[in-house]
Chains A and B, each alone.
Chain A
Amino acid sequence: MANKNIRALSYRKGLDDNLFENIAEVSNNKGTDTEFKELSKKYMVDDSVILGTSSFYDFTRKENRNKKIHICSGTACMVSKKQGDVINFAKANFNEDEIGHAACVGRCHTNHAFMLDNKTYSASNAESFNDILKNKSIQKNEYNVGCNTKSILTGPVVDIKSFYSLAENYRTLNEIAVNVLKTSKLRGRGGAGFPFWFKLDTVLKESADQKYIVCNADEGDPGAFSDMYLMEEQPHKVLFGMYMSGIIVGANVGVLYVRGEYPDSIRILKEAIDLIENEGYIKNFKFKIIEGQGSYVCGEETALLNSIEGLRPEVRVRPPYPAQYGLYGKPTVLSNVETFANVHWILENSGATYAKLGTDASTGTKLVSLDGRFNAPGIYEIEMGTNLNTIFNEFGKGFVEPIKGFQIGGPLGGIVPLSKVDALTLDFESFSSNSFLLGHASVVSIPASFPMIKFLEHLMEFTALESCGKCYPCRIGSQRGFEMLQKAQETHFLIDKNLFNDLLETLEIGSLCALGGGVPLPMKNALHYFEDELKSYFN
């Protein structure tokens, strides 16, 4: 494992006087080189560590420090074709170099999205944009919410105090709690679908002076805003899941790594944490929110851990897994927002009850994010195993324009042609057996009018921009893939099909993590299902 020295030095000040937060603060305040170098001294690392980290993130790197407005460049906003308006509004009010981008701010349902003054907005006309500029007041992010089964995630928390008191029942019965979760067959909701109980069990059995619970709330997939929903509308479900996990494995700190593009989530979580800590609803447990600084790869669990530590968020090798060597090298339960949000219901209603929902291998419910190309975009809690067409029609209520396909499960998720929708059910197995990916179950619709080659260019560019740069296939391959897809649209250049296939194979089997490893899936789906549309770009 690389960077053990830097990690250990960062651990000395740990989460209380966190290196990453300090770097972010100095960057956000347009700190001088001297201020950065003071940080090196304080943490007893060399300057390269501080520069290495600060130059990594969109919000902390020097060239972006004077950006005042960040316009959403996420996939859902891109296909909506509404962002041109926002760019024009912005140009009328800001210098060119003050306008930056953010890769999805979670307003995939309305689009016209941007981030300003640490808040997110949608503005569909110049008047409302100017109004936002003037008042900078909070604009509540509103969307449809529904459920087709037991509202495990979308039901209300009526009494917060008694909600948390459930944890006390398991304080001495931690192994039983693990068993309940095992019976529930709850799988990680971040995309990989790893059995949640197994992480708890591993960390429980590790002996260490310090253990951590880390919630991956870096919902970076453009098109996904279900974690945002949970943090903003159901924060106690998330916090309880982490608290309970802490009790089970013997960890007294829970870290929420929330992407910086979700400032409202951060504010709401802070309020929720203040409440439960001040009211004494939780005991011997501290929460810490770490605010992301604009990097998709931080959603990868090991990059996320490095990020919290103030190291460059480069993907670590595995093994060791975070359960053994996690945050600051300590045993860590690391899971997604939605996974944690399920814990209370399972412990309250039993694992068996939960397991009855959904399919045999994919139990429970899943939040689905539908983008703004649906007539009824929003967040829907759907029982696993439900037909996709049903969801799109009954909840999404059809589309605002003709659609030819969908990207489901984020930028690394498959491209599902309209014709395949009826063949899919909402569960891990149905998607993977059809060579797609359930992922985080976000749905971005691809309008019939949107060129598929441009969509692919966008995905490759996204990968190239967000690659941590550590492994060769992803660092160089995504750049070359992007260049070829771009060139093929601009000139008479034809992409060498064999070369492109070689590139996809290299990315898929050669990459260190799911970023480089995942981008070939939508490429291959598109080449397969949209061959006619794409063939003129290849030789």
Chain B
Amino acid sequence: MKTAFINNTSHEIHEGETILEFVRRVEEDEHVIPTMCQDNRLENFGSCRICSVEIARDENGDKKTVASCHTPISEGLYVYPHTHKIHRLRKNIVELVLTDYPEDKVFPENGKKATPFQQTIQQIGIPNVRYPEGANHLDIDKDTAHPYIKSDLSQCINCYRCVRACEEIQGEMVLGMSGRGFATNIIKGFGESFDTSACVSCGACVQTCPTEALTDKFKTKTLLPDSITRTTCTYCGVGCQLEVSVIDGEIKGIQAPETAEVNEGHTCLKGRFAFEFYNHPERLREPMIKRNGTFEEVTWEEAYDYIATKIKSIKQEHGPDAIGGFSSSRATNEENYLMQKMMRVAIGTNNIDGCARVCHAPTAFGMQKAFGTGAATNSIEDLKEADAIFLFGANPLKGHPVTGAKIKQAFMKGVTSIVVDPVKTKLAKLADYHLQIRPGTNVAILNMFAYYLIGADLVDTPFILGYTEKYQEFKDHVMSLDMDALSELTGVSKGLVRDAAIAYGRAERAMEFHGLGVTEHFQGSKTVMLLSNIVMMTGNVGRTGVGLNPLRGQNNVQGAADMGVQPHQGAGYLDVNSPEIQNYYAEKYQVAAMPKKEGMKIPIMLNAAINGDLKALYIMGEDTIMTDPNTNHSIKAFENLELIVVQELFMTATCNLADVILPASSYFEKDGTFTNGERRVQRVNKVINPIGNTKPDGQIIIDMMAKLGYNQPTGLKYNASKVIEEIADVIPFMSGLTWEGLGANGLQWPINESGEGTKMLHVHGAFKKGIGTFHHFDFKESPEIESHIDEYPFILTTGRELEHYNSGTMTRRTHNQDLLSKDYLEVNPKDAIKKNINDNELVRIFSERGSVEIPVKYSKNVKRGVLRTTFHQPDVFINIITGSVGDEETLTPEYKVVAVDFEKIN
């Protein structure tokens, strides 16, 4: 055992530890040595020197002063953290700092928490400033233009923490330092304000700033809250842990806890700042029934009775399969579980589907076919081990900002990086290889990729032979393809694909991530299966730092599917068509029988509504009208229904068409769990009481089930931990799941009987389905292109922006809307100029389905012939023009390929 000394007492040292870490660990006190510039999340920097200690080689030997934060501890070293000399040094440094720091900010304001700087100087002892007045920065202008982030650099102590956080946590370099010596100053971009700079508003700088030089508009760091509640963010599949401060029942600010395994003290502008929607004046607060075309507020009882009566009568007249349910990936696991249970048990139909249908259903389907499990094989933390990253059809900087920032940093630091995307995203620009394909040619590019892997003999034959089947068929197929033709088709040169494939093949640990650019296609499921082929043929599965990792879109889209929000599989992915399984569920749910017939997927349900086969829709938290493609088709379907029930936070486009609206509580107002994109089940803890007369979705479903004649065995009051007990009993791979067992950082499923989670699936070739299966496919042009490209020669592809979350129901009701208030149509300048259209000009974009108006943004990030836009803003309503083509297997809509044209508005 190696040891070193603190004040002449011997203690064990750990490999790679700094003196600061050593002393903190031994003394079990994070503040035992005062610090200013140090932050556990940042590289050690050594600017403030406050953490200096004396060291000696021998007991009472010659002492030397070193900064403990960046000096490694070494065997036999004597550390003296608190000598007179050191105390004097610290106080003298503080005195220097105070010569350029506002006098009235030395002590905390009344009713405010001390800043870390104020705490540190208190700890050291606040000296009298003996220096005569000299140069200072006390008159520096404040920057208050940004909706969230403010700076008052008169309080800046030049610790560089914000600058380092910007680079080292978020992977941006918006904050910097200018000048030198005493004249150094924090700058944003090219010396501008936060508002006009390239700031991504993540707030990492604000959180790390030890003074109030950087604050958010909520002054979160100096709040003295009544309570701080840890919960899980609702804004994407990363699953950031948040700490929410509450005063007098109102949310006052959010910070990211350093102890969070997922986000390690970081989060994005949505998680950190976009919470003000929760008590927005437009929140639905009372149940409503539409009578004579207008909504009237009613009591819950009245609403429930109205719905129950209608459902019962429809069921009686048309059978249970005339009723369908859409569940929500924003709701908790428990609520999704209850929702599918209501449909299957209380109503008696498998017509339950969710928004995975419009996003990652092909991932689940394709990966189940290849590996046996439709979920990410690895964990995000594996990024640290990967030496290559293959990013396919995803822009995590926008959609999954915290994971995106990690990927971006890996790219910058020089990991082998390959991006397949029709759009030249920031990550694509940073990547070693950007395969800028024509939208819709994923299968073609992957066949090319495999061809060159085989050609360069970069396949892992022992892995293929040992753990997989049908490789030879795949190989024969791929090798028979004409690369020139595929290159022509994809628009990517053979050389580039070959080089990228070789780089991927040569990597020791290549990690794949993909997003909706893979799934929202006619050949979406096939693309997933081909991606599975790529990782299998190179042995990039079943180890750390590798794998096939879908970036799940919504916070709980993984969980919703796990809970059985699918027409063909119940809770835990068991096949509802199997009599054995039907008996299993019947027994678990203590009912006589389960529905026998597989249910309808969302697009089928909509068609059934138009045909008159579906009579009622019960929707929990989805704005189907705005988010599903071909809006006019959806409206037609809705208008044909006898009953539409919507549980919602706000009056959405879907609500407008409803018969009954049930006001739901937001995620701040309830308990439950979300499962993130790496299968991590994490707790959602109630932060405040439900707003107005709202109820958590789980409570509404339990009430509804009771009205429909089924009493939820866990009790008539929604209790997440009790529902979890039931889920653990029903879902085999969650048998060890308990509310308490989840702890602060959750568990990744499978969760075994003893409550242990799983970081990695299919370890060392042990595929869930026994053996990994190769599939092979030819590229097939989407019917959208086949039928419409002649008339509508541009391909529109849709995506997300950082500031908004899908249809923007929540984010548009926060100051994020001030940061980005419009959807834009990105057009290659050459295409725009040819049509005599200016930058920012409003144009009409149209397809076979309809037309909308949208402003143009010149962008060289799209090739000629390709257009890109977002779908956040209802004033554009882009889905009016998107089409009805879906994935061949799962019917997931092809949002990424829409044949359109656009024109000047005269």
Residues of A whose CB lies within 8 Å of any CB of B are 1-6, 8-9, 11-12, 33, 36-37, 40, 44-52, 55-56, 61, 295, 297, 312, 314, 317-319, 464-473, 475-480, 483-484, 487, 493, 496, 499, 502-503, 505-506, 509-512
Contact = CB atoms under 8 A, between A and B. Distances in A.
Given A6-B173, A317-B70, A472 B47 contact: yes
Contacts of B187: 48, 51-52
A56 B67 CA distance: 25
Q: Name the residue in B97, B184, B198 with the highest tally of chain A Cβ atoms < 10 Å from its Cβ.
A: B184
Nearest to B199: A46
Contacts of B182: 464, 467, 469, 475-476, 478-479
A405 B351 CA distance: 96
Q: Name the residue in A40, A471, A478 with the highest tally of chain B Cβ atoms < 10 Å from its Cβ.
A: A471
Q: Name the residue in B131, B182, B189, B412 with the highest tally of chain A Cβ atoms < 10 Å from its Cβ.
A: B182
B288 interface: no
A33 B179 contact: no
A6 B414 CA distance: 11
Given A4-B413, A464-B182, A475-B182, A512 B49 contact: yes
A88 to B, nearest CB: 29
Contact of A499 (B65, B67, B130): B130
B99 A480 contact: yes
Given A2-B164, A496-B130, 17 more contacts: A8-B414, A44-B412, A45-B173, A46-B172, A46-B176, A317-B44, A317-B70, A464-B181, A469-B177, A472-B47, A472-B93, A476-B96, A479-B181, A483-B132, A493-B132, A509-B89, A510-B65
Contacts of B175: 48
A460 to B, nearest CB: 12
Contacts of B180: 55-56, 295, 297, 312, 466-469
B67 A472 contact: no
Contacts of B188: 48
Interface of B: 42-50, 52, 65, 67, 70, 72, 85, 88-89, 92-93, 95-97, 99-100, 130-132, 134-135, 158, 160, 164, 167-168, 171-184, 187-191, 197-198, 409, 412-414, 429-430
**Dominant SS among interface residues on chain A:** helix
A477 B89 CA distance: 12
A9 B181 CA distance: 26
Nearest to B171: A5
Nearest to B413: A8
Contacts of A464: 181-182
15 contacts: A6-B167, A12-B414, A56-B180, A317-B46, A467-B180, A467-B182, A470-B160, A472-B158, A476-B97, A478-B182, A487-B132, A505-B92, A511-B49, A512-B46, A512-B49
A467 B181 contact: yes
Nearest to A508: B65
A50 B189 CA distance: 9
B802 to A, nearest CB: 16
A510 B49 contact: yes
Contacts of B49: 471-473, 510-512
B181 A505 contact: no
B92 A475 contact: no
Given A50-B190, A506-B89, A472 B178 contact: no
Contacts of B96: 472-473, 476-477, 480, 506
Given A56-B179, A510-B93, A476 B47 contact: no
Contacts of B172: 46
Given A8-B414, A48-B174, A51-B176, A509 B181 contact: no
Contacts of B412: 5, 8-9, 44
Contacts of A472: 47-50, 93, 96-97, 158
B138 to A, nearest CB: 14
Contacts of B93: 472-473, 506, 510
Contacts of B67: 317, 512
B114 to A, nearest CB: 20
A40 B176 CA distance: 13
Contact of A475 (B43, B52, B158, B429): B158
Contact of B189 (A44, A46, A473, A478): A46
A49 B173 contact: yes
Contacts of A33: 190
B34 to A, nearest CB: 13
B353 to A, nearest CB: 42
A56 B49 CA distance: 22
Nearest to B198: A46
In order of increasing CB-CB distance, the 10 nearest A-B pairs are A48-B176, A469-B184, A46-B173, A47-B190, A317-B70, A509-B65, A467-B181, A52-B176, A479-B182, A476-B96
Contacts of A468: 180-181
Nearest to A41: B429
A468 B160 CA distance: 13
Contacts of A37: 190
A478 to B, nearest CB: 7
Contacts of B134: 479-480, 483
A512 B47 contact: yes
B499 to A, nearest CB: 16
A5 B92 CA distance: 34
A318 B89 CA distance: 21
Given A464-B182, A511-B49, A476 B99 contact: yes
B366 to A, nearest CB: 34
A47 to B, nearest CB: 4
Contacts of B65: 509-510
B430 A44 contact: yes
A490 to B, nearest CB: 12
Given A475-B158, A509-B52, A510-B52, A36 B45 contact: no
